[in-house]
Amino acid sequence: MSGKAKNSLEKYRSKRHAGRTPEPMGGSSRRAGRRRFVVQKHAASSLHYDFRLEAGGVLKSWAVPKGPSTDPREKRLVMRTEDHPVGYVDFEGVIPEGEYGAGQVIVWDTGTYRNLTERDGKKVPVSKGVNEGHIKVWLEGEKLPGGYALTCTGQRGGQERWILVKVSDAGADARRNPVSSQSASVQSGRTAEGVAEDA
């Protein structure tokens, strides 16, 4: 892991106690080929979905209160959160009471992605696009295939507010609602409630 990636994880580590939570504190599950994405269903104090993209040696992360949509007409509010270690891409489990983000986490969808971000006809790296407030990616997901765009709309209370929108392409489907119809993990087949029972 590069020094830059280590520095970007300082906020993540400052919120967690390594000996108390099963969450990864570092490491990498990097695989050859395309970079990975994950959407984790997180049954914390308020249910939400965490959208993460591997870039710059970490997972760039956003919280999606209503979960991602496959309808291009839906503009989903998302909140930028701290970078997570790449090893988090496979994390499922229960974050114990008293720890930051306490609750059940499952891998709701995952796969690889392609960066489609461009400016003036030139490709923009994902990390740079995030810093500049706009990215566009193509997800090779089981539940979320196709293009998605993320755009920063400003800050409130010191936290960046973004909008997540499905691109109009072959993966778009206004009739689907995978958040309600496909609740299980693509990794283990378990629901968030099942993860809690197994713990």
- pTM over cut 0.85: yes
Q: How far is CA 87 from CA 22, 92, 174, in A?
A: 12, 11, 33
30 band by pLDDT with thresholds 50, 70 and 90: low
pLDDT tens readout for residues 34-49: 899 999 999 999 999 9
Q: Which residues in 24-133 belong to E strands, given as ranges?
A: 36-43, 47-55, 58-64, 75-85, 93-95, 103-115, 118-119, 122-123
> The tokens of 36 are what?
């990975």
pLDDT tens readout for residues 100-146: 999 999 999 999 999 999 999 999 999 999 999 999 999 999 999 99
